[in-house]
Amino acid sequence: MAFFNRHFGYSVSGIEYVDELVAITQQNMGMQGIHADILNLDFFQADLTPDSYDVVFSGGFIEHFEDLNVVVSRIAMLSRKFVITTVPNLYGLNGFVSRVVRPKVFYSHNRIEKKLLRNLHEESGLETLFCNYVGGLQLPMLSEAAFFDEKKRFIKHVNLPFRCFNLISRTISKYTNVYPRTRFMSAHLMYIGRKRVGSVVEAKLSGSETK
């Protein structure tokens, strides 16, 4: 939200169903001097107005659900212009490391590859502007709930080589301007789409109140 506000001048809002995280997000935005409306609601139960936002962004969200079509369709419903979706790349080197060092996290995610991500959005009435692997090479690290449950004090030490690797990778990419966009090496997958004129979804939204 801070990025969209600062770089593009958007008024921003978000949705979060955990009370504590709503408060933390509001505090975070306040510290940055950004006004943001944080809705304390369940995304799937909330009575949200279709066609309400110029841009609907989700990062690391849709892969947590089994029925991807339902999630993406609801996201597309809210947008009158653009949808931006990012998911972790759980294939290639990134997926291998995640599966080995944090299997609980790995198997709790729905693995999504480029063709699937594109099809999900196009079936929801979007025209694809960009769909590719992004972010360079950044290896996943352990979280406290993911591994070494009885030895959480060791996690910082175990993560140290991963942190060092990621720092070196970011530095090399920054100065060479080389960011691998491959299923084998990239950390994330990104989709950017635009609501199609005359699409089924748009037809359903015709006449809806916007804000």
Structural domain total, the chain: 1
- Confirm whether 30 is domain-assigned: no
Q: What is the pLDDT of residue 205?
A: 42
- Longest CA–CA span in the chain (Å) reads 57
- Confirm whether 11 is domain-assigned: no
Tens of pLDDT, residue by residue over 178-204, are: 777 888 888 899 999 999 876 544 444
Q: What is the CATH number of the domain that holds 164?
A: 3.40.50.150
- Confirm whether 168 is domain-assigned: yes
- Confirm whether 76 is domain-assigned: yes
Per-residue pLDDT for 150 more than 70? no
Tens of pLDDT, residue by residue over 73-126, are: 999 999 999 999 999 999 988 888 888 877 888 888 999 999 999 999 999 999
- Confirm whether 85 is domain-assigned: yes
Supply the range of the domain harboring residue 143. Answer: 48-198
